[in-house]
Structure 1
Amino acid sequence: MISNRIENIIAKFLTSQASASELSELELWIEDANNLEMFNRYVKINYAIEYNMKEFDSYGVKSKLQEAFARENKERKLKKLRKIIYYSAAAVVLGIVTTTYFYRLGLFDKPVATPVVVKNTIEAGTDKAILTLEDGSAVVLEKDKTYQKNNVVSNGKELVYDSKNKTQSALVYNYLTIPRGGQFQIKLSDGTKVWLNSETKLKFPVAFKEGSTRQVELVYGEAFFDVSPSSEHNGAKFKVLNKSQEVEVLGTEFNIKAYEDEDKIYTTLVEGKVAVSNSNSKKHLIPNQQSIVNLKNGNMAVNPIDAYNEVLWTKGIFSFKGKSLKEIMNVMSRWYDFQVVFQNPELEKVKFNGVLSKNDNIKEILSIIKKTNFINEYEIKDQKIIIK
């Protein structure tokens, strides 16, 4: 079985984000014949489609590897890593690689129209956020720009609150809002780290009240929490509130997705323990389980899931397994800040597997999806993408 760490390195390798040390680790791992076989099987299952296997250019992959190693000053590793190419040449596709579950014989022979690009102003997102202070004033946080005031400092990527700051009086709250096309991190005063995805808003105290439950509110959006354990805070629990559920933890890693335009809330446990509750029920999760709260009827279900795959967005990678084209485009629309329109509603249901870097060009992504022949054409008009 492939460990979560190796899965992560493979995903980064396929999206050209692996560091020199990670490439070395992957090289050593595949020297074992059993591991190499698992690598082949894993890539074929998760990151290949029959079309791409037919059209695969092994020399192109070699070139990509050479570029990656040159960037990391690891040219000498090429000879040993060529066995990856030899055994996996029919499976590996760099960049976004999609798997469709609706392959039909002869479909790829259908003529495909040329996409129309009127004006491509769609770019990948970046580190940015709006910090709303207790007096209502707003501070714009941006990549490579620093900010410091009293007990808080930002380097343009992360907001850090003074860990020594505790309060015995009434709590004072700040808000951190991530717009479409943005992402940001925050370290709360208790040491808890939170990764915030695009179109997300978090309410939190500037300092937690000593001896009381530590409580924040995910107003909307998606956030990954690495909670400082209760043992470091005199047993104080940690809770994440949302208008439709409550998550109670003791010290753990978990992800909550609660977007306003979706009718479900997803809570995924990576490590530790959480209790998810709403007005209807309460469920305890163990690692690699996900609770789903249906906002229409309040029902809650718990399903097994690959938790690590769900949080790869915090590593700069979008990973899709069995996701519909509509779901994929919704995720990307938040990051690239565009509106998507499907001319044929049936296209929304087509399912894919794949990984893509959050730095990929949107035109490249659309072109590869188009090669599956499930979309005939796409059109970009300013900040709108029309799927045909």
Structure 2
Amino acid sequence: MSFKIIEKAIIKYLIQEANSEDLNTLSDWIQTPENQIIFEDYVKTYYKINLAMSNPDVNKIKGNLLQQINKDKNKTRKLIIRKNVIKYAAAAVLVGVLATSYFFKDKFFNNSIEDPTPTIVDTKTIVPGTDKATLTLGDGSIVVLEKGNTYQGQNANSNGEEIVYEASKQRPTEIVYNYLTIPRGGEYYVVLSDGTRVWLNSETQLKYPESFIEGETREVELVYGEAYFDVSPSTEHKGSNFKVFNKSQEVEVLGTEFNIKAYRDEVNIYTTLVEGKVVVDNGISKQNLIPNQQSNLNLEKNSIKVAVVDVEEEISWKNGVFSFKGKSLKNIMRVVSRWYDVDVIFLDKKLEELKFKGVLGKNQSIEEILSIMKSSTISDYKIEGKTIILK
């Protein structure tokens, strides 16, 4: 079964949106010890990105889940899981609850008299992002990838939510490149022909070969946007390294997990190492990263700085939430605009630099997010079509 399907089932379970099919899938998958570890990591991630709450009792959650799953093997098992297991992940569910109930600045906000109802002209066209992408093949032809549409290529297939490439049975004589372009309001998942897994965020484009040439360096280009890479190790490919390029830097890896954020409307490129080892090279200097470090390439100064960061916060977008810890409203709304495919106007420019702490679910409506902001700092907002006006 596709890991993307499993990942979505875990996320939907944690935010209390799993249906009976999701729960059935998860209950079967979690039977093996290695999958239990993966599930545990997801629970830890959801706890770590919450708002400075206490550490999770992951073992209790996992233990109760496994106990409940093993308790019943009959047809009513999924109903029992749905009724009982969710309560044991209550703290994880709090992430979603907090996202709809609070928006933190430095502390919980006191209750206050509600402001007048904001002006909402039309929000029907504003919906959370979903799985969608445009695939450009080597011959220039274009394939639209989205839910409900399948695609079968020579060595690739898509179920509408992901695209998976198979290694070529014959050594290719030349490299043929594909482009996967994710629009605003979209995300996508791709498995490259060497087994490398890549999660692509909104407004992102990745260039990669249909097949890598065995024994030669594997190279892809993050043209722009944000991507999370889980690279197939060089030991499985005759020692061939893996490199990710963009116009301003090169990242060389050996078998690792990392995130690169390189949007066209930002002057910084962030490379965050989750595990393994990478070398970031901007043509002037090279920086070795170890896990939990992030390089910050300033494009205006062409300089690289390295700092220790909260990895879970940096990669939370991949796991179904946006985590903001001390981010400015300007940066937050930049993320929101990409995911909801909207334009944002600040009537009061001072709002742009205000700092926030908070967790937002990627499935929340735009009205929920703006209401959270209104309960804290902004005095009002207005929605006109696909434009949000903050006051």
Q: TM-score, normalised by structure 1?
A: 0.78
Counterpart code for 2:222:
L
CA drift of 1:78 comes to 7.7
Counterpart code for 2:274:
V
What does the per-residue CA deviation read over 1:197-238, in whole Å, with 9 as the maximum and x for residues that have no partner? 000000101111121100000000000000000000000000
Q: Does 1:158 align with 2:162?
A: yes
Looking at structure 2, the residues matched to 10 and 44 of structure 1 have their Cα atoms a distance apart, in angstroms, of 21
The unaligned stretches of length 5 or more in structure 1 are 1-8, 25-38, 48-69
Q: What is the identity percentage for the equivalent residue pairs of Structure 1 and Structure 2?
A: 53
| Structure 1 residues 188 and 165: alpha-carbon distance in aligned structure 2, compared to 1, 3 A threshold | farther
Q: Does 1:227 align with 2:231?
A: yes
| Structure 1 residues 76 and 190: alpha-carbon distance in aligned structure 2, compared to 1, 3 A threshold | closer
In the alignment, what sits opposite 1:266?
A: 270
What does the per-residue CA deviation read over 1:279-307, in whole Å, with 9 as the maximum and x for residues that have no partner? 22100001100000000010100010111
In the alignment, what sits opposite 1:114?
A: 117
Looking at structure 1, the residues matched to 166 and 141 of structure 2 have their Cα atoms a distance apart, in angstroms, of 20
In the alignment, what sits opposite 1:244?
A: 248
Alignment of 1:1-388 (within 5 A): 15-16=15-16, 45=52, 73-76=81-84, 93=98, 95=100, 97-101=102-106, 112-120=115-123, 121-165=125-169, 167-372=171-376, 374-388=377-391
Counterpart code for 1:75:
K
CA drift of 1:314 comes to 1.4
Looking at structure 2, the residues matched to 253 and 365 of structure 1 have their Cα atoms a distance apart, in angstroms, of 30
| Structure 1 residues 14 and 369: alpha-carbon distance in aligned structure 2, compared to 1, 3 A threshold | farther
| Structure 1 residues 133 and 79: alpha-carbon distance in aligned structure 2, compared to 1, 3 A threshold | closer
| Structure 1 residues 366 and 148: alpha-carbon distance in aligned structure 2, compared to 1, 3 A threshold | same
Contact 2:127 2:340 survives alignment (8 Å):
yes
Counterpart code for 2:118:
P
Counterpart code for 1:380:
I
Q: Bigger shift: 92-101 or 363-372?
A: 92-101
Contact 2:320 2:361 survives alignment (8 Å):
yes
Counterpart code for 1:116:
T
Looking at structure 2, the residues matched to 140 and 77 of structure 1 have their Cα atoms a distance apart, in angstroms, of 38
Looking at structure 1, the residues matched to 254 and 375 of structure 2 have their Cα atoms a distance apart, in angstroms, of 47
Root mean square deviation, CA, Å: 3.4
| Structure 1 residues 72 and 378: alpha-carbon distance in aligned structure 2, compared to 1, 3 A threshold | farther
CA drift of 1:161 comes to 1.0
CA drift of 1:96 comes to 6.2
| Structure 1 residues 78 and 245: alpha-carbon distance in aligned structure 2, compared to 1, 3 A threshold | closer
What does the per-residue CA deviation read over 1:253-295, in whole Å, with 9 as the maximum and x for residues that have no partner? 0000000000000000001000001022100001100000000
| Matched residues, number | 339
What does the per-residue CA deviation read over 1:77-112, in whole Å, with 9 as the maximum and x for residues that have no partner? 588778x69xx99xx7353642103999x9x75773
CA drift of 1:315 comes to 1.7
Counterpart code for 1:159:
I
Counterpart code for 1:350:
L
Looking at structure 2, the residues matched to 42 and 200 of structure 1 have their Cα atoms a distance apart, in angstroms, of 24
Contact 1:211 1:236 survives alignment (8 Å):
yes
Looking at structure 2, the residues matched to 214 and 307 of structure 1 have their Cα atoms a distance apart, in angstroms, of 26
Looking at structure 2, the residues matched to 10 and 322 of structure 1 have their Cα atoms a distance apart, in angstroms, of 28
CA drift of 1:166 comes to 5.4
| Structure 1 residues 299 and 45: alpha-carbon distance in aligned structure 2, compared to 1, 3 A threshold | same
In the alignment, what sits opposite 2:5?
A: none
The unaligned stretches of length 5 or more in structure 2 are 1-8, 31-45, 55-77
